[in-house]
Structure 1
Amino acid sequence: MRTRRETTRAATIREIKDTALARMRAQGTVDVKLSDVARDMRMSAPGLYRYFDGREGLLTALIVDAMTGLAERVEAARDTRPPTDPGGRFLAVAQAYRQWALSDPEGFTLVFGPALGGLERAAHKPDAEPGPDKAAALRAMDALRSLTRDSDVCGNRRRMPLNRLPPVLDKALCDADLHGADPATELAMVHCWASLHGFVTLEVNGNLEWHGAAARDPMFLGLVRLLIGLLGLPEPVDGWPPGTPEP
């Protein structure tokens, strides 16, 4: 059970984070200053150092929160479908990834946007020391990796689209911690994530506005359908949402 001091400290940390996120939304950028956050809270800037190790510490904490939120979203979505429905799992995870980004654009930008001055994103570096940000990133990526990792789907061995890899790529993938995946399967996961992430990034940044809001759902579903076909996964057991483009 928390003491009164621990409860008060946790509430203040949450308020600092919420204030920083509110300022990000108001100014349209995630590159906030600690002095601005302190001013919004009617605190002194030095007072914030009792809770975070400067601006970098605050931003890192927000990145961990965002990555944890992403991991929870995609894991929960994946687990709504059984392992015997890999196509349904892929669809659910893809939709959850997109919904997370659209509902938390500040978190999305903190995690995947341009590097902020003085902030090292350990989650993006393979040789970084283990920490909460890296653990959250690995958790989120493993939910995606699990969709393409197994060589058997419903008892039928499937072949990855690209199996003959150049030596430099094969070595790079073999040297990485693939969590049980073979290089060709890992490459397929990266290609799928890059495709989904590219669409979502364009949408979050408003670059698909000219197509109209009504077109974006079927456009995204069409991409997911293409990727499922590319991976050789079966169609979702429950079928596709209405409006999904057809072959």
Structure 2
Amino acid sequence: MAATRSTGRRERLRAETTADIKRTALELMRAGGPDAITLRAIAREMGMTANAIYGYFATRDDLVTALIADVYTVLADAVDAAWAASAEDAPAQRVQAWAHAFRDWALANPEGFRLVYGDPVPGYRAPEGGAAPDAARRVCVGIAGLADAAWGAAGQVYGEDDFGWGDFDPGLLDKVRPAFPGLPPAGVALALRIWGHLHGLVALEVYGHLRAQTLSPNKIFHAELTSLVRSLGLVA
């Protein structure tokens, strides 16, 4: 019994230290950009020896991979939950719910947003298949789901756009087509255009550019989202 308690305590302490390492890495990134993420700098901030931190992450890239996996998973969980909580027969509300969940996540996790959608970590090489293949797929499918939910109305406006399957990366199609077999190439293009609307405005806000221009970024986002929904032929 004592051995079991000792093992449990070691596992708990290791999990706590691992979480502290990740948190410190993001704090360093916030202060100094992606270049600041080094194992030695983290060890120094935490009062650890370099050798000790290598017992948790063998390389800087292993740490970055773990950070990206965490970030993507939290994002995927947030947007999936918003989507699931919205009514299937109310596409405008579903688009808005997903969009607000994405923005809320980004504002609550600005370093995470910058890590996966903004500043690349110099020299980082992701493992084969990506750092977070399942969570990244869920986010990608969620974006395509916005176009699919709106396509009944939006297809009347965008259905004639000149897109073919050859216009898209096969990896993207491998994720999207099994989930939405009825979505045509123009629908996939629409998904990317919707993503551009949402990502662009959120990126301006996360990087502080929008706040410098307006005291009401929330109103700007809401207005843009309302305009987007209308452009899709949906009624909010």
TM-score, normalization by structure 2? 0.84
2:122 counterpart letter in structure 1: G
Q: Residues 123-155 of structure 1: CA distance to partner in whole angstroms, max 9, x if unpaired?
A: xxxxx52x55121111112222212225765xx
Tell me the distance in 2 between the aligned counterparts of 1:188 and 1:220. 19
Q: Distance in 1 between matches of 2:210 and 2:150?
A: 35
1:149–1:182 Cα contact (<8 Å) kept: no
Change over 3 Å in CA distance of 1:157–1:203 after alignment to 2: closer
Could you list the runs of 5+ residues in structure 1 that have no partner in the other structure?
Answer: 123-127, 236-247
Q: 1:186, 1:173 → 2: CA distance?
A: 8
Structure 1 CA distance, aligned partners of 2:139 and 2:101? 11
Task: Check the 8 A contact 2:91/2:149 in 1, yes or no.
Answer: no
In structure 2, distance between residues paired with 1:29 and 1:86 = 38
1:243 aligned residue: none
Correspondence 1:11-50 to 2 at 5 A: 11-25=16-30, 27-31=31-35, 32-50=37-55
The answer for unaligned runs of 5 or more in structure 2 is none
Q: Provide the rounded CA distance (Å) in 1 between the counterparts of 2:73 and 2:225.
A: 23
Q: Which residue is 2:141 aligned to? A: 142
The answer to whether the Cα contact below 8 Å between 1:101 and 1:200 also exists between their aligned partners in 2 is yes
Q: Percent identity, please.
A: 35
1:163-198 Cα shifts (integer Å, max 9, x gaps): 33255xx31338432233321111111000011101
1:94 to 75, 94, 99: 99
In structure 1, the partner of 2:219 is: 218
Q: Distance in 1 between matches of 2:125 and 2:118?
A: 13
Find the counterpart in structure 1 of residue 233 from structure 2: 232
Change (3 A) 1:121 1:199: farther
Is the 1:161–1:230 contact (alpha carbons within 8 Å) kept by the matching residues of 2? no
SS in 2 for 1:209: coil
- 1:33-66 CA-to-partner distances (Å, cap 9, x unmatched) read 2101001111111222221131111111111111
Cα distance change on mapping 1:190 and 1:109 into 2, 3 Å: same
State how far apart, in whole Å, the 1-side matches of 2:211 and 2:154 are: 41
RMSD of equivalent CA atoms:
2.4
User: Between Structure 1 and Structure 2, which shows a larger proportion of helix residues?
Assistant: 2
Q: How many residues matched?
A: 223
State how far apart, in whole Å, the 1-side matches of 2:118 and 2:151 are.
Answer: 35
